Structure 1
Amino acid sequence: MTPVVRIGNCSGFYGDRLAAMREMLTGGDLDYLTGDYLAELTMLILARDRAKSPDRGYAKTFLTQLEDCLGTALDRKVRIVANAGGLNPAGLAQAVRTLAERLGLSVQVAHVEGDDVLPRAGELGFGAAPAATSSVGTPLAANAYLGAWGIVDCLNSGADVVVTGRVTDASVIVGPAAAHHGWARTDYDQLAGAIAAGHVIECGAQAAGGNYSFFTEIADLTHPGFPLAEIHADGSSVITKHPGTGGAVTVDTVTAQLLYEITGGRYANPDATLRVDSIELSDDGPDRVRIAGVTGEAPPPTLKVSLNSIGGFRNEMTLVLTGLDIEAKAALVRKQLENTLTVKPAEMQWTLARTDHADADTEEAASALLRCVVRDPDPANVGRRFSSAAVELALASYPGFTSTTPPGDGTVYGLFEPAFVSATEVAHVAVRADGVRTKIAPATETQELADVSSPALPEPFPIGSMRRLPLGTIAGARSGDKGGSANVGVWVRTDEQWRWLAHALTVETLRELLPETADLGVTRHLLPNLRALNFVIEGILGQGVAYQARFDPQAKGLGEWLRSRHIDIPEELVS
């Protein structure tokens, strides 16, 4: 085995750049190419797809990519690992074989299954399995997050392509690294190092400058390249990208991605728990960042389960309020609509976005948006009965009444709920290319997940002259969804800035800067090695992404909102 394995990634979500697979295969040397196609919302989409036909339930774009690239991968001896199997990994594996036969290619295709625990949902305490026609509140999908050892078995048996169902995002990278280096299941430091590298590259171009706070510093972000990890036998790695591709890989772009959708100092995976607080980053040359010093611990005894169900039906109307008396106009139309509806929806949520400007030079700049979202188990209560009632007010309400939404029927919305099950209750199975089925035993050594003891705060930065500026003047941020909660990671780039940030950005200060969080549970975690704070905000996304509790349902912009808020910053820290 070579001392370093090069693992590239070509997908961060279902719908990512189709051309990325070809770009990664032809842009430079790789040993493995991986793809992450699954997210909490994706599982609901695939579940509804599978409900229409049992032959569906996987990411069809993966087949589109393979049709163009499978021959190239085989010629270059690049093996492919992807979780595109979704709810039907066996079906996708067979579809890949059918595609290869049509293309005249000889390929060994294996898959990993066992994550689907929906048939045992009632037994495991997750609610009854659905009938042929799904009903509101009934689980459509229940999938345990598996680890990397099924992938390892498939690769060790000679598979060219391995497709999985719901494994953790990092597992598609950990599997190839563990197979290549021959790691044992108790090599926790090495496995944790691969988890860190996997967490960085699994979200595609984000590691190369996509969704990056200081994006104006990147010379060319027109078409950022996708990342790859050079993973060493000791678990250390270098994050980089193919030569000549756009974007940039820097300590800061890697820091941003490490903070994405985590909690505190421990990041649990089924194969090891990564100590995020142990990670050390250093510049290794242009577009090269070294990850070292990573320590790992035994995994927890339970696996996370993603439960997706139909929550009911929703509808919304957005009204435009222009010019003067915005608050009074909003109050009038709200009172009118609520009094008009003879049957009230179970939920009725109003949001006024004050996008208007005084003395504006365009009508659009003079306008605010009033949004009314309704939800109900009965589609009739959020359908035309609601939307037509809003439209009927057009000539009887506030001056300048107009809307951006026509009357229409309600649509289905989903609910996400996390659950946990003992790893011993889940049948993790590797199905090799020759059809041999290998049961992957759960970890024999486990450790209950617990919070890391809070590290000591650094010495406070001496307070002198202060300037009222946006926090983002010196701090970057990355935010995302964690079920119904969200995380916001905030980092700075110098030790002096860290000394200020660690003391200045408290939970209380965050609540002041983000009033939406005032009545929500907020936990702060310190990550001194990354000069970062991570906040977990409970319940801000309601019952998950598909519930659409706020206009940014995945909290992707939450960090940028925080960066835009003004705070007193020492003048010496502002370059």
Structure 2
Amino acid sequence: MSFLSNVAAKVVNGHTNGTTDDNTSSNGVKRPVRIAGASGGFSDRQRAISSLAKLDVDAIVGDWLSECTMTLHGAQKIDNEKLRVEGKLLEEPAGLFDPTFLENLAPALPDIARKGIKVAVNAGACDTQLLTRVVQEEVERQGLDLKVAYVEGDEVTDTVNRLIKQGEKFPSLMTGENLEDWGYTPIYSQCYLGGAGIAQALDHGADIVICGRVADAAPSVGVGMWWHGWNRDKDFDQIAGSLICGHLIECAAYVTGGYFSGFKRLMEGCHNLGFPIASLYPDGSCAIEKEPDTGGEVSIGTVASQLLYEIQGPLYYGSDVTALLEGIAMWEEGKDRVRVAGVRGLAPPTTTKVGMTAFGGYQAEFHVYICGLDLEAKAEWVERQVRYSAGNAVKELSCFKFSLNGYCPDNPRNQDVATCDLRIFVQTKNKTLVDKSTLDVPGFNRWCMDNGLQGCPGWTLGNDQRQSEGKVYYEYYVSLLPQSEVQHRVVLPWLDGKTIDVRPCAEMKEYPRDQPSYETKDPADLKIFGPTTRGPMGWVVGCRSGDKASDANVGFYVRHDDEWDWLRSLLTIGKIKLMLDEEYKGGKIERFEIPGIRAVHFLLRDHLDRGFNSTSTYDTLGKNVGEYLRAKWVDIPNKFLARGRF
């Protein structure tokens, strides 16, 4: 029997209904709310909500949005509106919400209704009201009695345009440059809302709350505020705890073994990693578990790994609160159960993050496969020929990049492992340079194809040339918007569309753009750790990395205290620059530590060549920065290796 089975007395034939009796244990102490994380993005598994609704949970939350989906949905919305004004919209377009969400939700609705489970998600994207109507229609089709509310106010295109005209500079969070220096014109803007609106909707009887761009962790914050009745103007420690709880489960299986450095020991059940369940306590601490009878694990390693994902520094900002991470602590309370505490809360920032989408131009890519010896010389041969074929057209290219990807090992065991990809990537605002079929001359494809018979030894093209035809891409710009400019509202359709305005927190604080950054205090002499073996750092160091637009974050962690002293002393900002090698482009690097999980974190400013929709690199989301650095060789103390590798 799990610890939670003894925490609270359950009502017969029921579950959460928001009443004091159901939220409170028999001894009068408010019990934790059980929140299940059902989705970390549009690519997550469709069984999630249905499976989780069968378990002992009070609420199900999920995140379906990313900067990629925000950009694409927002751009399509503007295109649709333009066609509608011009009378060229021949039929009503598909809703600009997550197209997989209803398929995920619909099978779970009977259990949600029977057990009184609450649902809060951000799947509404750019058509939150429409998705609400679609969900309500499905509820009625199944003959159920569920109230569906929605949250609005995240779409701020008009507000941003007005402020631009009034002289607002909108400096970039990544580079510090002003919007006017960006070189692109925003067509759509969407800001991040917090969880207070979700809490208001639940307070007014909603069973399902559909949101657009609320922050990934906001559904958990909203559920926690509602369940525990926290004062959002004062209870910053508790709300900050819920923000980190939400961060831990917002990416679903990321916290149960997905993207985990120790993945090799989880291979047996990797086909079905469990979705996470968090018990969020009245003091803001939480315990992370997973679905029973599923693969993966919940350990300090998997939870620490997810904590380090996509953070920016010691301060984790939300619209409701700012969480201070340096004092966080984790311990295992049992198999597949990790308790998380020690998060401190500060007043929320006066601003919230806003993402702006702009038309970037057109892009295309061509792949040449080369094999065996002298790969770099072969790649140079191809590059010289293609650049010559392009001629004066290169003047109209904003990006013309050749990258040799892979290597041929010594004495290769087969031909495939000896084969590498030479990727040729272009971007331009001139559609005619790239938007040609493979038979047309001129055009990007022909610059590459014309050189096939004078190519390097083994020059081989792929049999699918569709990538070499031009496609539209979008640029994405991240800045800050005053919370006072956001019209955060909750709409209750079952009450004749009653609207509730959600005010900002009464106490807010201005924070500098750059977070505190520091090297370790009292570094150890690395010689004290004894004899060493040179090898990949990842033999003993775990890591997670991610993106925030063009910034990349990367956090490293170890399993033992003496390894922590070694890690914090080894990994200085200077050391990371050296390890990045050719990947380091000269940007600012910020550093801080989380001793409670033996972690060192770095923020690599403007490292990723813009963001997902416009980047010219393979690592579109920064997820491989950490794996690249784990593969770099360092001197590892032999006593650490004797304990076993990740």
TM-score band w.r.t. shorter chain:
over 0.9
**Structural mapping, 1:368-447, within 5 Å:** 368-384=420-436, 385-404=443-462, 405-406=464-465, 408-433=468-493, 434=495, 435-447=497-509
Cα distance in 2 for partners of 1:232, 1:36 equals 22
Cα distance in 1 for partners of 2:300, 2:447 equals 54
Query: Which residue in 1 is equivalent to 2:548?
Result: 482
Cα 1:166–1:77, aligned 2, differ >3 Å: closer, same or farther? same
Does 1:43 pair with 2:100?
A: no
Q: Which amino acid aligns with 1:552?
A: D
Secondary structure at the counterpart of residue 479 of structure 1? strand
Query: Which residue in 2 is equivalent to 1:557?
Result: 624
Q: CA deviation at 1:518?
A: 4.8
Query: Which residue in 1 is equivalent to 2:521?
Result: 457
Unaligned runs of 5+ in 1: 129-135
Cα 1:199–1:18, aligned 2, differ >3 Å: closer, same or farther? same
1:58 to 97, 105, 116: 97
Cα distance in 2 for partners of 1:250, 1:47 equals 38
Measured against aligned partners, the alpha-carbon deviations of 1:160-195 in whole angstroms (never above 9, x if no partner) come to 100111111111101011100000012000001101
Secondary structure at the counterpart of residue 122 of structure 1? helix
Cα distance in 2 for partners of 1:471, 1:537 equals 19
Q: CA deviation at 1:121?
A: 2.6
1:105 to 144, 149, 161: 144
**Structural mapping, 1:193-212, within 5 Å:** 193-212=241-260
Query: Which residue in 1 is equivalent to 2:273?
Result: 224
**Structural mapping, 1:487-526, within 5 Å:** 487-515=553-581, 516-526=583-593
Return the TM-score normalized by structure 2.
0.85
**Structural mapping, 1:362-373, within 5 Å:** 362-373=414-425
Does 1:14 pair with 2:53?
A: no
Q: CA deviation at 1:359?
A: 3.5
Q: Which amino acid aligns with 1:570?
A: P
Q: CA deviation at 1:119?
A: 2.2
- Contact in 2 for aligned 1:8/1:228 (Cα 8 Å): yes
Query: Which residue in 2 is equivalent to 1:125?
Result: 164
Cα distance in 2 for partners of 1:268, 1:86 equals 21
Q: CA deviation at 1:127?
A: 11
Query: Which residue in 2 is equivalent to 1:539?
Result: 606
Query: Which residue in 1 is equivalent to 2:361?
Result: 312
Cα 1:317–1:237, aligned 2, differ >3 Å: closer, same or farther? same
Q: Which amino acid aligns with 1:18?
A: Q
1:327 to 367, 376, 379: 376
Cα distance in 1 for partners of 2:639, 2:414 equals 40
Q: CA deviation at 1:227?
A: 0.3
Q: CA deviation at 1:458?
A: 5.3
Cα distance in 2 for partners of 1:54, 1:122 equals 26
Pick which of 211-220 and 466-475 moved more.
Answer: 211-220
Query: Which residue in 2 is equivalent to 1:355?
Result: 407
Q: CA deviation at 1:335?
A: 1.2
Q: CA deviation at 1:453?
A: 6.8
Query: Which residue in 2 is equivalent to 1:302?
Result: 351
Cα distance in 2 for partners of 1:456, 1:555 equals 25
Q: CA deviation at 1:464?
A: 2.3
Pick which of 86-95 and 116-125 moved more.
Answer: 116-125
Does 1:469 pair with 2:510?
A: no
Does 1:170 pair with 2:217?
A: yes
- Contact in 1 for aligned 2:518/2:591 (Cα 8 Å): no
Measured against aligned partners, the alpha-carbon deviations of 1:436-460 in whole angstroms (never above 9, x if no partner) come to 1011111221122253474852551
Query: Which residue in 2 is equivalent to 1:179?
Result: 226
Does 1:83 pair with 2:119?
A: no
- Contact in 2 for aligned 1:511/1:518 (Cα 8 Å): no
Pick which of 238-247 and 276-285 moved more.
Answer: 238-247
Does 1:258 pair with 2:275?
A: no
- Contact in 2 for aligned 1:481/1:555 (Cα 8 Å): yes
Cα 1:324–1:280, aligned 2, differ >3 Å: closer, same or farther? closer
Cα 1:554–1:301, aligned 2, differ >3 Å: closer, same or farther? same
**Aligned alpha-carbon RMSD (Å):** 1.9
Secondary structure at the counterpart of residue 271 of structure 2? coil
Q: CA deviation at 1:149?
A: 0.9
- Contact in 2 for aligned 1:9/1:35 (Cα 8 Å): yes
Measured against aligned partners, the alpha-carbon deviations of 1:383-425 in whole angstroms (never above 9, x if no partner) come to 3301122112111222222122526421111212101111001
- Contact in 1 for aligned 2:425/2:616 (Cα 8 Å): no
Query: Which residue in 2 is equivalent to 1:133?
Result: none
- Identity of paired residues, percent? 34
Q: CA deviation at 1:520?
A: 2.6
- Contact in 1 for aligned 2:355/2:478 (Cα 8 Å): yes
Q: CA deviation at 1:353?
A: 2.0
Unaligned runs of 5+ in 2: 1-22, 25-30, 81-91, 168-182, 437-442
Pick which of 332-341 and 55-64 moved more.
Answer: 55-64
Q: CA deviation at 1:126?
A: 8.8
- Contact in 1 for aligned 2:519/2:592 (Cα 8 Å): no
Pick which of 46-55 and 103-112 moved more.
Answer: 46-55
Cα distance in 1 for partners of 2:363, 2:520 equals 47
Query: Which residue in 2 is equivalent to 1:131?
Result: none
Q: CA deviation at 1:138?
A: 3.9
Cα distance in 2 for partners of 1:353, 1:428 equals 46
Cα distance in 1 for partners of 2:427, 2:114 equals 53
Cα distance in 1 for partners of 2:414, 2:451 equals 25
Q: Which amino acid aligns with 1:215?
A: F
Paired residue total: 567
Pick which of 108-117 and 238-247 moved more.
Answer: 238-247
Query: Which residue in 1 is equivalent to 2:89?
Result: none
**Structural mapping, 1:145-164, within 5 Å:** 145-164=192-211
Pick which of 195-204 and 91-100 moved more.
Answer: 91-100
Does 1:23 pair with 2:59?
A: no
Cα distance in 1 for partners of 2:243, 2:413 equals 52
Does 1:246 pair with 2:295?
A: yes
Secondary structure at the counterpart of residue 222 of structure 1? helix
Q: Which amino acid aligns with 2:551?
A: S
- Contact in 1 for aligned 2:537/2:632 (Cα 8 Å): yes
Cα 1:7–1:127, aligned 2, differ >3 Å: closer, same or farther? farther
Measured against aligned partners, the alpha-carbon deviations of 1:307-366 in whole angstroms (never above 9, x if no partner) come to 122211100111112233322222222111111114222320111124223443422233
Return the TM-score normalized by structure 1.
0.95
Secondary structure at the counterpart of residue 132 of structure 2? helix
- Contact in 2 for aligned 1:330/1:370 (Cα 8 Å): yes
Secondary structure at the counterpart of residue 217 of structure 1? helix
Cα distance in 1 for partners of 2:529, 2:300 equals 28
Q: Which amino acid aligns with 2:338?
A: V
Does 1:566 pair with 2:628?
A: no
Q: CA deviation at 1:280?
A: 1.0
Q: Which amino acid aligns with 1:449?
A: Y
Cα 1:395–1:453, aligned 2, differ >3 Å: closer, same or farther? closer
Secondary structure at the counterpart of residue 246 of structure 2? helix
Cα distance in 1 for partners of 2:533, 2:521 equals 23
Cα distance in 2 for partners of 1:124, 1:229 equals 40
Cα distance in 2 for partners of 1:452, 1:537 equals 14
Query: Which residue in 2 is equivalent to 1:132?
Result: none
